[in-house]
């Protein structure tokens, strides 16, 4: 690091096992999921839930995030390409995941698990899952950093990053200094995780159905909305848009989160009359 920027040139490949390459992205992604599911298992144990619930949730959530995020990228950001190359849609190893698609898939999966596994209201499981999903989201953005992807526009701030791998062959002094938006998002999501954990373990917020989910949606996607202003466009079609695709997709989740919070408030107000 020098006085003007952080030089970032991390090899995205952690190590190789013969023909198999293991990337930091996958390691960090998986680590986030494993820690999250361990915390969720503690929640379930605290509430006397069956021991196998956390394992089932883990399996279905991993599938939901991967499939949903991939389809989100395909349909929201690059349909012009994939409509002409449908055989590449599920080639996840080529890159291309969209968190909004993952969020939609998680919502659908939570509904299915609530209906067929927990037999509890949708928001019961959603509240508990959102606590740990915030942690997973934080890890995913660190994984993006290791890939030198999804970074921001140029900046003069001293903590700006020079992503050398994105500009091969260019002298270091000519590489633009950019906002490390991966770190901004990761920090925002981790702060949300800590806050939700405090609400769950210390304040019993899970007793107010939908409150944790509402806070989670409204904070996470509001942070995402504003950080998008300093993030580079993910697809060419976003050039010239007042709000980019990430911001447009965040708005419904923000509205949903606010509605859930207001719903809890109105229920409590009605109960005190």
Q: What value does the mean pLDDT take over residues 42-54?
A: 94
Q: Decide: 73 and 95 in contact? Cβ < 8 Å.
A: no
pLDDT given for residue 144 in this prediction: 93
Residue with token string 């509001």: 222
Alpha-carbon torsion (107, 140, 96, 76), positive or negative: positive
Q: Distance between the two ends of the chain, CA-based, in angstroms?
A: 60
In whole numbers, what is the pLDDT of the chain averaged over residues? 91
- 16/28 Cα distance (integer angstroms): 16
Q: What is the pLDDT of residue 236?
A: 78
Distance (Å, whole) CA 272 – CA 265: 11
State the Cα–Cα distance between residues 8 and 199, nearest whole angstrom: 36
**CA separation for the pair 157, 6 (Å, rounded):** 10
- For 98-145, the pLDDT digits (tens) are 888 889 999 999 999 999 999 999 999 999 999 999 999 999 999 999
pLDDT score recorded for residue 95? 67
Predicted confidence (pLDDT) per residue in 54-101, tens digit: 999 999 998 998 898 889 888 888 888 888 888 888 777 666 778 888
In this prediction, residue 2 carries a pLDDT of: 46
Residue 261: is its pLDDT beyond 90? Answer: yes
> What tokens were used for 132?
């740990």
Residue 1 has pLDDT above 60, yes or no: no
pLDDT digits (tens, 9 = 90+) for 159-207: 999 999 999 989 998 999 999 999 999 999 999 999 999 999 999 999 9
Q: CA-to-CA distance for 175 and 211, rounded, in angstroms? A: 45
Residue 225 above 80 pLDDT? yes
- The whole-model pTM stands at 0.90
**117 C-beta neighbours (distance < 10 Å), count:** 15
């Amino acid at each position: 690091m020098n006085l003007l920027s952080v030089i970032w040139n991390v090899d995205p490949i952690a190590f190789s096992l013969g023909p198999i390459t293991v990337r930091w992205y996958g390691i960090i992604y998986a680590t986030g999921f494993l820690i999250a599911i361990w915390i969720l298992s503690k929640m379930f144990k605290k509430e006397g839930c069956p021991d196998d619930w956390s394992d089932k949730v883990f399996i279905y959530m991993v599938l939901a995030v991967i499939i949903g995020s991939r389809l989100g990228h395909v349909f929201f950001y690059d349909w012009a390409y994939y409509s002409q190359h449908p055989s590449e849609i599920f080639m996840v190893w080529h890159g291309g995941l969209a968190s909004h698609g993952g969020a939609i898939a998680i919502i659908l999966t939570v509904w299915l698990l609530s209906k067929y596994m927990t037999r509890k209201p949708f928001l019961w499981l959603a509240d508990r899952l959102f606590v740990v999903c915030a942690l997973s989201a934080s890890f995913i953005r660190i994984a993006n950093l290791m890939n030198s992807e999804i970074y921001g526009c140029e900046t003069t701030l001293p903590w700006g990053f020079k992503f050398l791998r994105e500009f091969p062959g260019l002298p270091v002094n000519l590489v633009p200094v950019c906002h490390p938006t991966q770190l901004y998002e990761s920090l925002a999501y981790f702060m949300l995780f800590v806050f939700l954990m405090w609400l769950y373990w210390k304040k019993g917020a899970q007793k107010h159905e939908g409150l944790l989910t509402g806070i989670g949606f409204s904070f996470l996607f509001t942070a995402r909305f504003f950080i998008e202003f300093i993030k580079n466009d993910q697809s060419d079609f976003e050039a010239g848009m007042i709000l980019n695709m990430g911001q447009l997709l965040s708005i419904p989740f923000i509205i949903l989160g606010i509605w859930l919070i207001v719903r809890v408030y109105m229920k409590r107000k009605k109960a005190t009359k």
